Amino acid sequence: MQKIDMIINARHIYTLQGEGVGYLENNSLAIDKGKIVAIEPIDEIKKEYTAEKTIDAEDKLVMPGLIDGHMHTTWCTLRGLAQDVGNWMMHGAGPFTTKSTDKSMIAGAKLGIAEAILNGTTTIGDDGNLAEEVCNVVYKYGVRGNVSVRIREALEKVYEPGALYEYSEDKGNQTLEKTLRVYDKWHNKDDRIKVLFGPQGADFVSKEMLEKVKRLSKERNTKISMHLSQGSRETKQMEMRYASRTIPWLARKNYFDEDFIGIHLTDALPDEVKAVVDNGASMVLCSGAIGIIDGIVPPAKIFQDVGGNVALGSDQANGNNCHNIFNEMKLTALFNKIKYEDPEAMPCWKVLRMATIEGARAIGLGDITGSLEVGKQADIILVDLNYPSLQPIYAKPMRNFIPNLVYSATGREVNTVIVAGKIIVENKKPLTFDLKEVFAEAQEQADIVGEAASPQFWEVNGVNAIYMKEGKL
């Protein structure tokens, strides 16, 4: 009999293998050295293995950990400050982002990543200026990280609508050099962290920088994660600068391939979506953020219909308010049903795949995580079925687990989180960070940012300033 690290005995398992959801009943997962070594009926596992730790998941649903393909965790200290605003980036978030500091953003990263983990996310797809600090948090908290380092030449300031961004070649070179430093230090560290190149968008960097980024990312065998056709604002910038929409302009430069991850595609036309897919690139959909910021449903269904892989992302808490893939699954299903006036559009099993195996494939981790399979990393969550949102349970004539996960679960049902075979949340308690300390640090920094942002907030006099004056917030 072989001694291994962990055995999980489960009544209900969703492996996400194959084209569906891979349901298994009364099976066990055998885990050793961070990987799944067997998935077999409980009695068979008992004959073959003993373990340092055995988990009885009789009243739990066992499934792959969730993939958050695109996040800006460093903005989590700005939660709830830029909703319900037209010109979100400049007049909503701008007064607060321009007054944020490295300290406030690191506190945000700790809060955002902690929130995501507690809601069942095992892979963090972060993007931002403080990538090295985020990598450090990811490493300490024990989660998996797909971290892209922000590359930007546009000067950081509040631009008036219609103003062309001003570029700084020095700023671009500095951010590119930082990308290379972070890559050299963190890429493939502990087999949990991948470092990607993250030009903020085709409108935020010069064509020369985009070409350099592509060449260097290929040399280092990593991916490019970039905001793409993010909205009408980006389209206007590209038309002013290049007399072209973003995707046709990049397509003419052969920029799309299997190593390109496009974020949002909010303003992409159907033929542009097809051009991205035809060249092997993937997409990350942030339904909650784009719904709140732009009131738009991005073309993820079109992307899938023409053969592309789509991941879900929570984006940032000053847009979306939360880092919770359960929220993204529900909103993605609902928004697409409403958009297409079709209750069968974007069914629950499909958005679960977007949150797991298809999401993993979209961000380049499909051979590592996203499904429960022998040889893959043991990234697993246990969902407590003893919650009103998941009761009662039906096993026939149909199973109701997935409809309830997508349409009524909130993330608070997640009981246990395992990454690379190590438990990082057990019985809802984080084992790798102190939540009270995370809250205290975030609040201290929020108080400082709020004070510093006040003059510009009132000067801009955006919608939320007006709401404050009218006693509506």
| pLDDT of res. 142 | 98
Question: What residues are paired with 283 via a beta bridge?
Answer: 262, 310
Supply φ then ψ for residue 240, to 5 degrees.
-70, -40
Strands (E), 229-297: 260-264, 282-285
Low-confidence ranges of the chain (pLDDT < 70): none
Tally: H helices and E strands in the chain: 17, 16
CA atoms within 13 A on the CB side of 385: 18
| pLDDT of res. 89 | 78
Which residue from 430, 418, 355, 296 is spatially nearest to 125, judged by alpha carbons? Answer: 355
Helix or strand (DSSP H, E) at 419 = strand 414-419
Strands (E), 246-364: 260-264, 282-285, 310-312
In the structure encoding, which two tokens stand for residue 9, read together? 């005995």
| pLDDT of res. 173 | 97
Report the distance separating Cα 22 and Cα 374, nearest Å.
Answer: 13
Burial state string for 430-453 with b = 16 or more CB within 10 A and e = fewer than 16: bebbeeeebeebbeebbebbeebb
Question: Helix axis angle, 131-141 relative to 169-186, nearest 10°?
Answer: 20
| pLDDT of res. 161 | 78
The answer to whether the CB of 64 falls within 8 A of the CB of 356 is yes
| pLDDT of res. 194 | 98
Report the distance separating Cα 256 and Cα 262, nearest Å.
Answer: 9
Distances (CA, A) of 343 to 48, 187, 304, 334: 46, 42, 17, 9
| pLDDT of res. 1 | 87
| pLDDT of res. 368 | 97
Q: Which domains does the chain have, with CATH numbers?
A: 2-64+380-419 (2.30.40.10), 66-362 (3.20.20.140)
| pLDDT of res. 157 | 78
| Residue 254 burial by Cβ neighbours in a 10 Å radius (0-12, 13-18, 19+) | exposed
- Please name the residues in contact with 373: beta carbons below 8 A apart, sequence gap of 6 or more: 15, 17, 36, 39
